Amino acid sequence: MRTKLLLKTAAATGIVAALLTVTTGCATTPGYNAYGDIYEDVYKDSNLYKKHKKTIKSIDKDLYQPAVEQTAANKVNSMGYRVKDVKYKRGDRIIKVKAERGREDYKIELGYPNYNVLNVKRD
């Protein structure tokens, strides 16, 4: 009797584990969008998409640029400088940082995407 109960429990646990594995795999598959395949081409041909195309690109830029600038500021701060201004344009390979150390101003150029110091000069 007891072995029958253990066998049922083991079988139920195995089934639940298999279902969870399949469900988690489907939910976490990167880039999968069930409706994107069906409606993407129709949406991109619509007048609404064409009207807001520039807005969509500027939203991407607005979300991306502050993260790059903040990372550059953190890098320069960790070097002992006080950051005054950070300038970066998407697509550039150089991030320009104005900073202060002691009472002297510096212009620091960092490479993108690795944030290596390319140039440090007094302003």
Residue 105 sits in a domain whose CATH number is: 3.10.450
> Does residue 3 lie in a domain region?
no
pLDDT value, residue 64: 74
Across all residues in the chain, what is the average pLDDT?
Answer: 78
Given pLDDT bands bounded at 50, 70 and 90, which one contains residue 104? Answer: very high
Any domain includes 33: no
Domain count for the chain: 1
* Cross-strand partners of 106: 99, 122
Q: Where residue 49 falls among pLDDT bands split at 50, 70, 90?
A: low
Tell me the per-residue pLDDT of 57-97, one tens digit each, with 9 for 90 and over: 555 555 678 888 999 999 999 999 999 999 988 778 899 99
DSSP annotation of 54 reads H
> Is the whole-model pTM more than 0.85?
no
- Look up residue 38 and give its two tokens: 């069906």
Please report whether residue 121 resides in a domain. yes
The DSSP line for 36-49 is: HHHHHHHHHTSHHH
